[in-house]
Amino acid sequence: MLKIFLLLFITSIALINANLEDAVNGFFEQRCSKGGNPNAYSELLSASIRVKICVENNVPSSVNEAETFKAICTESYDNIYKCVEDLLEKFEPCLEPEEKYLPDFVLGSFNNTLDEQCKDSGKFFLEQRANLKHANCSVASGTITPMILETCAPKLKLIEALKKTDFVLRQDELCSDIETMKNCFLDVFEERCENDTYTQYIETFFSPVLDWCTEQRTNNKLGEN
Radius of gyration of the chain (CA): 18
Contact region for ligand NAG (CB under 6 A) — 47-55, 67-75, 129-137, 148-156? 129-137
Instruction: Identify any residues that bridge with 137 across adjacent strands, giving them in sequence order.
Output: 193
Q: CB of 85: closest distance to ligand NAG in angstroms? A: 9
Q: Which of 108, 125, 162, 205 binds ligand NAG (CB under 6 A)?
A: 108
Contact region for ligand NAG (CB under 6 A) — 32-40, 155-163, 191-199, 216-224? 191-199
For residues 15 and 44, what is the distance between their CA atoms, to the nearest angstrom? Answer: 17
Q: What letter would DSSP give residue 153?
A: G
Site membership for ligand NAG, residue 111 (CB under 6 A): yes
- Tell me the longest C-alpha to C-alpha distance in the chain: 55
Cα 110 to Cα 6, 51, 97, 118, 176: the distances in Å are: 10, 14, 22, 12, 18
Site membership for ligand NAG, residue 136 (CB under 6 A): yes
SS3 category, 143: coil
Q: CB of 136: closest distance to ligand NAG in angstroms? A: 4
SS3 category, 180: helix
- Name the CA dihedral angle for 102, 78, 59, 62, rounded to a multiple of 10 degrees: -140
For residues 72 and 58, what is the distance between their CA atoms, to the nearest angstrom? Answer: 8
Q: Which of 3, 82, 100, 134 binds ligand NAG (CB under 6 A)?
A: 134
Q: Which of 42, 46, 62, 195 binds ligand NAG (CB under 6 A)?
A: 195
Q: Which of 104, 160, 187, 190 binds ligand NAG (CB under 6 A)?
A: 104
Site membership for ligand NAG, residue 215 (CB under 6 A): no
Site residues (CB under 6 A) for ligand NAG?
104, 107-108, 111, 131, 134, 136, 194-195, 197
